[in-house]
Amino acid sequence: MYLPKIIETISLSLQKHHAKAIIVGGSVRDHFLQLPIKDYDIEVYGFDNLEQLEKILVEFGSVNLVGKSFGVLKFVHEKEEYDFSFPRLESKVGKGHRGFDVETDGSMAFEQAALRRDFTINAMGYDIEGKAFLDPFNAQEDIDAHLLRHIDDNSFVEDPLRVYRAVQFCARFGYELAPETKKLCLNMVKDNLLEELPKERIYKEFVKLLLKSPKPSLGFELMRELGILRYFPELEAIIDVPQDSKWHPEGDVWVHTMICIDAMVGLLGEDKKKNLKYMFAILCHDFGKATTTATDEDGCIRAIGHEVEGLEPTKSFMYRLTSEHDFIESILPLVEYHLKPSQFYAAKSKNRAIRKLATKVNIEELVIVAKAGFLGRTTQESLRGNYKAGEWLLEKAKALKVQNKPLDNLLQGRDLIDLGLEPSPEFKFILDEVYELQMEGDICTKEEALDYVKKYITKQDRK
């Protein structure tokens, strides 16, 4: 297993003090899954107290004591952070994620310490000096079988967040829940244990599900199987909502949405916050169909106005997960206008309409969300993957220089003052009038804008 040199150096120093360093947790799991290792957690065995460990670590870098009460020391070396900890036991003493009593014990056996972990794949270790993997719960067999299996019934139910962790792990790794683990999760949901979880912790698991899974739909389908969707009625409401087979041969709104979120994965870039915005936007984009879907006299299924109708359930859903108001507000225009690229393309809309759309939504972002919606269908056109409407709109928007922001105002209040006008409520009227002419394409330069105002002033003076 590859290890940073500093960890090997510290391990050797620990050994000289009759202590042993073992790599634990996700880094060992990711080694076997052949995934990039981003974080290293090290458990140290053989010391009586954390001060002994701290004394060694400060020789090689800085130590942050913020987690000391939980038996954890944050060690920083050359801007990289590592968690060094003592083996510990956790026992439930109250509700919530803070309702645990933590007992550290440097003399504890690795297998005993690993019992507190959630799944077998997260309970492996790597003995650095012994160059040997430790696998007390046969995780490697579960990896070969692509199974996610919990370790201990009693410790598992003590933290209901583990049900959400099961969901995102299964989606990220393409694993099945072991039958006994699935049964335990079903009972935990049935017994309302998930209700004690703060939304901030749930949100973090949603983020991992959406941003780390090649097929997030696997996680949402598992949520549906486990009964978790009852905590998210906006999602549950789109199940079995019919769609016209001409436009949506793939099935109901839930099926369409699941295909959409998987399609969005292939459209994401490097910006994590933007990626998360896109994923939530496409997840929520058809929420309005739950209340607007109807069959007309010709037998056609329509959901007229579902884009606008979807705004309230989108807000409701998002506020169940996070209080980040600005982030939620940034999602809403992508939901409200997700049909515009296709509508504008069909109508061959004029430049003014495109400029006006840019005042309401970032067109570049909108096209990404709309493309995921397009790819979430199984029509022949969608299966070919060429989203002509989006390409057309983006090309037009770029030519008009409004692809990711509204048209710039050519004039400001100071320009009117420079022309000799006194500040007044009339300024807004003049500036709005000039901006409207910009939107129409009648004014394209600052000189043209100034000429228009000069003529306006002359006309007013004559009155």
Find where tokens 């002359």 sit: 458
Q: Where are the alpha helices (DSSP H) in 359-445?
A: 363-375, 380-384, 388-399, 413-418, 426-440
Region 279-307 average pLDDT: 95
Between CA 251 and CA 256 the distance in angstroms is 7
Please give the DSSP secondary-structure letter assigned to residue 409. Answer: P
What pLDDT shows up at residue 100?
56
As given in the structure block, the two tokens for residue 314 are 């989108």
What is the total residue count of the chain?
A: 463
Q: Residue 170 — pLDDT band, cuts 50, 70, 90? A: very high
Sorted by where each begins, the domain ranges of the chain are 5-145, 146-231, 232-407, 413-462
What pLDDT shows up at residue 71?
80
Phi and psi at 75, nearest 5°, equal -110, 130
pLDDT, tens digit (0-9, with 9 covering 90-100), for 405-463? 999 999 999 999 999 898 999 999 999 999 999 999 999 999 999 999 998 888 876 65
pLDDT, tens digit (0-9, with 9 covering 90-100), for 369-403? 999 999 999 999 999 999 999 999 999 999 999 99
Element spanning 23, H or E: strand 20-24
As given in the structure block, the two tokens for residue 346 are 């069909």
What pLDDT shows up at residue 458?
83
State the CATH class of domain 5-145. Answer: alpha beta
Those residues with Cβ within 8 angstroms of residue 220's Cβ, 6 or more apart along the chain or in another chain: 209, 235, 258, 261
Percent of the chain with pLDDT over 70: 96
Is-contact 52 30, C-beta < 8 A?
no
Bridge partners (DSSP) listed for residue 301: 295
What pLDDT shows up at residue 459?
80
Q: Residue 93 — pLDDT band, cuts 50, 70, 90? A: low
Bridge partners (DSSP) listed for residue 72: 85
Percent helix, percent strand, percent coil in the chain, to nearest 5 = 55, 10, 35
Collapsing DSSP to helix, strand or coil, 13 comes out as helix
pLDDT, tens digit (0-9, with 9 covering 90-100), for 240-290? 999 999 999 999 999 999 999 999 999 999 999 999 999 999 999 999 999
Region 201-227 average pLDDT: 98
Bridge partners (DSSP) listed for residue 80: 77
How many angstroms separate the Cα of 428 from the Cα of each of 422, 433, 451, 462? 12, 8, 17, 21
Region 51-60 average pLDDT: 94
Please state the pTM of the whole predicted model: 0.92
What pLDDT shows up at residue 66?
76
Percent of the chain with pLDDT over 90: 87
Q: Residue 350 — pLDDT band, cuts 50, 70, 90? A: very high
5 CB-contact burial (10 Å; exposed 0-12 / middle 13-18 / buried 19+): exposed
As given in the structure block, the two tokens for residue 358 are 């840019």
State the CATH class of domain 146-231. Answer: mainly alpha
Between CA 202 and CA 225 the distance in angstroms is 18
Of 8, 25, 21, 11, residue with least CA distance to 124: 25
Please give the DSSP secondary-structure letter assigned to residue 150. Answer: B
As given in the structure block, the two tokens for residue 385 are 């993957």
Is-contact 181 149, C-beta < 8 A?
yes
